[in-house]
Chain A
Amino acid sequence: MSQPIMRLFATIVLLFAILAIWTSRWSVLDAKDLRENALNKRPLLAQLHVKRGAIKAGDGSLLARSVRGPGGTYRRAYPAGSLFSHPVGHAVIALNQLAGIERYRNDELSGQGDDELGSLADQLQGKRQQGDTVVTTLDPDAQRIATDQLAATGSPGAVVALDPRTGAVLVMASSPGYDPNDLGEPGVFRELNGSGSGAPLLDRATQSSYAPGSTFKVITAAAAIDSGKYTPDSVIDGSSPKVISGVPMRNDLGESFGPITLTTAMTSSVNTVFGQIGEALGKETMADYMRRFGFYRRPPLDYPDDELVASGERLNGKLLPVTSDAVDVGRMAIGQDKLAVTPMQMAMVVAAVANGGKLMAPHLAERIVDPDGRTVDRIDPRLASTPISADTAQQVNLMMRTVVESGTGTAVALPGIEVAGKTGTAEIGVTGANLTQPSFVAFAPADDPRIAIAVTVERSQGGFGGTVAAPIARAVLESLLS
């Protein structure tokens, strides 16, 4: 009976070999596919056990931190509630929901940015995976003022304030906001996404596009001067109405100015002058300068791609080239036509003018600090483009000062600090409904700009950029400059 016994044993060895092969199949050979399988909850659970790094404001105050939950897990707490809901975003790991900085910096915050070797060494030492801290450029006081002031208008809106010299984002406020602390509760996401909620999850600073109205005249003026075809003293006929692109265009209240300089046209926001300039410069030139200021691309912000929207002419939700036949360049030059521009983009435009024509890439993160307190990465200021010359920038700067001194933007004037700005009031809704979309762009101090700001209020009953948006800009500027 010995031969059958040997054969039987050989069979059993074979069966065990099959077990070993199948085990290696799941644990090693197919492991990657299994780990990435959508049904597999383990990667998510692993994330729940990671102590994410904190997110801090520029002054060091905590915007987001991880607190211990049950069973060695962590959950996110946002000490400032809804105040930073848009720039910071949220991380609800259990629901696999990430937004804002929490999403863009997820690798650093969850400690995945480390190299393989380093994490293996950590594992051998029994160190738990721990995330790095992200220190942002945000200013809590100014953020609070911007948020409160927006809320006081009773309308949705957004405020973006940059340091034009570095591109640091100091304020990025969008109203209405949401409290990211509540997102873990059942049904909250559905509620916030539901109709009638006012779309609080939408970051209106980067995702909502508005007709910029007369604030766009900053770009038209910059193009006019930088192209060499105009100077601030060029005299243009400011009569109203004036036929532009075959259709009569009117100034505000139908006011007729007669022949005036470009500077005066800026001060009083004379539509017919800028309409003529737009036609004279042509679509190619306008398209060129818009691109230089960053239009037709997502802003180079350290923020998730799908939470950023490119600005430009839009038809049926799609970007339309300026050179398209469907574009009315005269009306585009005064910020009408089909322009759809984010507050972030407008802030970049005035920041470039303020910074002598140099556009610095906006950024929210200032540095990344590891759990031992070492700075592992510093986000250095980076030149994004040079849309206009320093001379042009200086001339546009001077023109914008007159707007605040004696024009449509006097409401932003601050005692002892010279402010340069431009108002905008786009009409929305049906004609005669008297619904407007007030906006305002500015920078200060005008002779050595440290802050560039864009304010947009989504809806106002007959309000103007100078009366609704400019006071918000004033309050934020005051806080940031004090």
Chain B
Amino acid sequence: MSARNRELLGLIPASLLVTAGFAAVFIQQGSEQLSNVSLTYGAIFLGLCVAAHVFLRIALPYADPYLFPLVAVLASFGLVVIYRIDDTLARQQAQWFVVGLGLFVATIVFLRDYRKLEQYRYLIAAASLALLCLPRVPGIGAQVNGAYLGVRIPGVFVFQPTEFAKIGIVVFLASYLRDTRQLLVAGARRIVGITLPPLKHFGPLLVIWGVAMLLLVVIRDLGSSLMFFGAFLAVLYVATSRVSFVVVGLALFGLGAWYLGTHVPHVTDRVDVWMDPLNADRYPNVGYQIANSLFAQADGGLLGRGFGEAFLVLPGGGPLLPAPQTDLIYAVIVNELGLVGAVAVLTTYLLFVQRGFKIALLARDSFSTLLAVGLSAVFALQVFVIVGGVTNVIPLTGVTLPFISYGGSSLLANFVLLALLLLVSDRARREAETAR
């Protein structure tokens, strides 16, 4: 069976999921026009996906056949969960989904030769850093829970620059390390038992670390920093095969995180809450979110309460689970679908990441490999940071669950990420095919 036919078949579970999911929520809400609307939603969604699929058939016939259906599954599932939380948000998210597909198509059309990006790597790096600093600019920056992650565009929405910056930074790293990876390894020498690269080439990387640390201070968000720095280390490791670089990098990050965790009050709070999430003194303020995240998960148990059955608001109208459609959407999933549903979601993400690494292995040139590794790693780390935060593996910070959380920026950026992965995979598999 050809790759594209497999992709088409893969869309069937996605459309079934969205239809069944909406039906379940409708039943729970006791709605009258059950059959019509849920089928309409399912049909529209399927129609959009099939249109995207037809486009891929023409534009990228060799691209990986599983990535797009996996994204369709995640996005449709996200729509259902958001619909269950707030139907207005779900309509907006559906619109973002359409815009996201448009951007997806545009990326593929205009970046057919994605290697052109290498020429602009410093511009891309500078633009990404500028994006990250934007939330601190007075007047347009938006502070949420002490972290600077949003830019308010009046009347439109709050733009999350980190979502796009992560792609730009990965593009830069892949391009930079393609050039310098040999030099980093060849010039390395052992100092007190640790292999260190020559300062001349390591210098720029130290600058990256410094910038990451600075960003940590600027945006004050441990999770985003972990995501960026983790992606950096992942690409560096694949480029150089040196574990010691990763160890040194992690140590440096640990140092920075420790400083932040003890000196910036907003980060200190998060760390305190992380150490003791059920502390009664902190519960009414800083501990409320994580404690209720854990309570929601406990309420879900193995099989969950079922779609629409979880408590999200207090009788008085206050939030029982704050930010259920964004930061804590994973807690809602565990609450309603249980451990089983949550593990299914994690598995879907893991399959996506696995396809990303597969593309990296197939790619013929270093830039493509490193780009695929970087994009997959930053995607995986984003999932780890938010799910890890919600389950208290690490301090909770505000990043989105890709393709599931409500949010235009997140959806658009991740569609660009998907487009880039498909572009890399199309090229790699095309070359493999013609070389045979």
Contact B297 A26 (CB under 8 A): yes
- Interface positions of A from 7 to 61, Cβ below 8 Å from B: 7-9, 12-13, 15-16, 18-20, 22-28, 30-32, 34-35, 37-42, 45-46, 48
Q: In the complex where A13-B350, A27-B297, A45-B311 touch, is A39 in contact with B283 (Cβ < 8 A)?
A: yes
List the A side residues contacting B346 at CB < 8 Å: 16, 19-20, 23
Q: In the complex where A27-B339, A31-B298, A35-B298 touch, is A22 in contact with B350 (Cβ < 8 A)?
A: no
Given B238, B320, B350, which contacts A5 in the complex, CB threshold below 8 Å? B238
Answer yes or no: A482 CB below 8 A from chain B CBs. no
Given A22, A35, A39, which contacts B299 in the complex, CB threshold below 8 Å? A35
Answer yes or no: A94 CB below 8 A from chain B CBs. yes
List the B side residues contacting A152 at CB < 8 Å: none
Q: In the complex where A26-B298, A35-B298, A39-B291 touch, is A5 in contact with B360 (Cβ < 8 A)?
A: yes
- Interface positions of A from 70 to 101, Cβ below 8 Å from B: 70-71, 73, 94
Contact B377 A1 (CB under 8 A): no
Contact B393 A39 (CB under 8 A): no
List the B side residues contacting A37 at CB < 8 Å: 278, 295
Contact A28 B278 (CB under 8 A): no
Contact B238 A8 (CB under 8 A): yes
Answer yes or no: B237 CB below 8 A from chain A CBs. yes
The distance in angstroms between the C-alpha atoms of A277 and B392, with both chains bound, is 75
Per-residue CB contact flags for chain B residues 351-386 toward chain A (1 = under 8 Å, else 0) read 001100100110000100100010001001001100
Contact B241 A5 (CB under 8 A): no
Answer yes or no: B334 CB below 8 A from chain A CBs. yes
Answer yes or no: B141 CB below 8 A from chain A CBs. no
List the A side residues contacting B280 at CB < 8 Å: 38-39
Q: In the complex where A8-B377, A12-B380, A19-B388 touch, is A31 in contact with B301 (Cβ < 8 A)?
A: yes
Contact A8 B295 (CB under 8 A): no
Q: In the complex where A9-B354, A23-B391, A35-B299 touch, is A1 in contact with B369 (Cβ < 8 A)?
A: yes
Answer yes or no: A2 CB below 8 A from chain B CBs. yes
Answer yes or no: A228 CB below 8 A from chain B CBs. no
The distance in angstroms between the C-alpha atoms of A4 and B291, with both chains bound, is 38
B246 → A minimal CB distance (Å)? 10
Q: In the complex where A23-B334, A42-B311 touch, is A4 in contact with B297 (Cβ < 8 A)?
A: no
Answer yes or no: B122 CB below 8 A from chain A CBs. no
The distance in angstroms between the C-alpha atoms of A34 and B296, with both chains bound, is 9
Contact B387 A19 (CB under 8 A): yes
List the B side residues contacting A32 at CB < 8 Å: 298
A93 → B minimal CB distance (Å)? 10
List the B side residues contacting A195 at CB < 8 Å: none
The distance in angstroms between the C-alpha atoms of A124 and B176, with both chains bound, is 57
Answer yes or no: A3 CB below 8 A from chain B CBs. yes
List the A side residues contacting B353 at CB < 8 Å: 9, 12
Answer yes or no: B338 CB below 8 A from chain A CBs. yes
Number of interface residues of B (CB under 8 A): 49
B176 → A minimal CB distance (Å)? 16
List the B side residues contacting A7 at CB < 8 Å: 237
Kindly report which residue of chain A lies nearest to residue B283, judged by CB atoms.
A39
Per-residue CB contact flags for chain B residues 298-328 toward chain A (1 = under 8 Å, else 0) read 1111100000000101110000100000000
Contact B297 A94 (CB under 8 A): no
The distance in angstroms between the C-alpha atoms of A28 and B295, with both chains bound, is 11
B330 → A minimal CB distance (Å)? 8
Contact B349 A16 (CB under 8 A): yes
Per-residue CB contact flags for chain B residues 161-197 toward chain A (1 = under 8 Å, else 0) read 0000000000000000000000000000000000000
List the A side residues contacting B27 at CB < 8 Å: 126
Contact A19 B391 (CB under 8 A): yes
Contact B349 A2 (CB under 8 A): no
A346 → B minimal CB distance (Å)? 44
Contact B339 A8 (CB under 8 A): no
- Interface of B, helix, strand, loop or mixed by DSSP: helix
List the A side residues contacting B295 at CB < 8 Å: 34-35, 37, 39-42
Answer yes or no: B239 CB below 8 A from chain A CBs. yes
Number of interface residues of A (CB under 8 A): 43
Q: In the complex where A26-B391, A39-B278, A45-B315 touch, is A8 in contact with B237 (Cβ < 8 A)?
A: yes
Contact A94 B315 (CB under 8 A): yes
The distance in angstroms between the C-alpha atoms of A378 and B346, with both chains bound, is 52
List the A side residues contacting B296 at CB < 8 Å: 42
List the A side residues contacting B142 at CB < 8 Å: none
Contact B241 A1 (CB under 8 A): yes
The distance in angstroms between the C-alpha atoms of A102 and B349, with both chains bound, is 49
Per-residue CB contact flags for chain A residues 126-142 toward chain B (1 = under 8 Å, else 0) read 10000000000000000
The distance in angstroms between the C-alpha atoms of A30 and B278, with both chains bound, is 13
- Interface positions of A from 387 to 415, Cβ below 8 Å from B: none
Contact A4 B315 (CB under 8 A): no
The distance in angstroms between the C-alpha atoms of A94 and B387, with both chains bound, is 32
Kindly report which residue of chain B lies nearest to residue A11, judged by CB atoms.
B234
The distance in angstroms between the C-alpha atoms of A409 and B314, with both chains bound, is 58
Given B238, B294, B334, B384, which contacts A4 in the complex, CB threshold below 8 Å? B238
Per-residue CB contact flags for chain A residues 446-470 toward chain B (1 = under 8 Å, else 0) read 0000000000000000000000000
The distance in angstroms between the C-alpha atoms of A15 and B391, with both chains bound, is 13
B24 → A minimal CB distance (Å)? 11
Answer yes or no: B342 CB below 8 A from chain A CBs. yes
The distance in angstroms between the C-alpha atoms of A7 and B234, with both chains bound, is 10
Kindly report which residue of chain A lies nearest to residue B366, judged by CB atoms.
A1
Answer yes or no: B48 CB below 8 A from chain A CBs. no
The distance in angstroms between the C-alpha atoms of A48 and B383, with both chains bound, is 35
Answer yes or no: B343 CB below 8 A from chain A CBs. yes
A126 → B minimal CB distance (Å)? 8
The distance in angstroms between the C-alpha atoms of A37 and B314, with both chains bound, is 17
Contact A42 B241 (CB under 8 A): no
5 contacts between A and B (CB under 8 A): A1-B369, A12-B353, A23-B334, A23-B387, A94-B315
Q: Identify 16 new A-B residue pairs, CB closer than 8 A, beyond the known A5-B373, A8-B234, A41-B295.
A: A5-B357, A5-B361, A5-B369, A12-B353, A16-B346, A16-B383, A20-B343, A23-B334, A26-B297, A27-B338, A31-B298, A37-B278, A39-B278, A42-B296, A42-B320, A70-B315
Q: Interface of B with A (CB < 8 Å)?
A: 27, 234, 237-239, 241, 278, 280, 283, 291, 294-302, 311, 313-315, 320, 334, 338-339, 342-343, 346, 349-350, 353-354, 357, 360-361, 366, 369, 373, 377, 380, 383-384, 387-388, 391-393
Q: Interface of A with B (CB < 8 Å)?
A: 1-9, 12-13, 15-16, 18-20, 22-28, 30-32, 34-35, 37-42, 45-46, 48, 69-71, 73, 94, 126
Of all A-B residue pairs in the complex, the 8 with the closest CB atoms, nearest first, are A34-B298, A22-B391, A26-B297, A31-B298, A4-B238, A27-B339, A27-B297, A40-B295
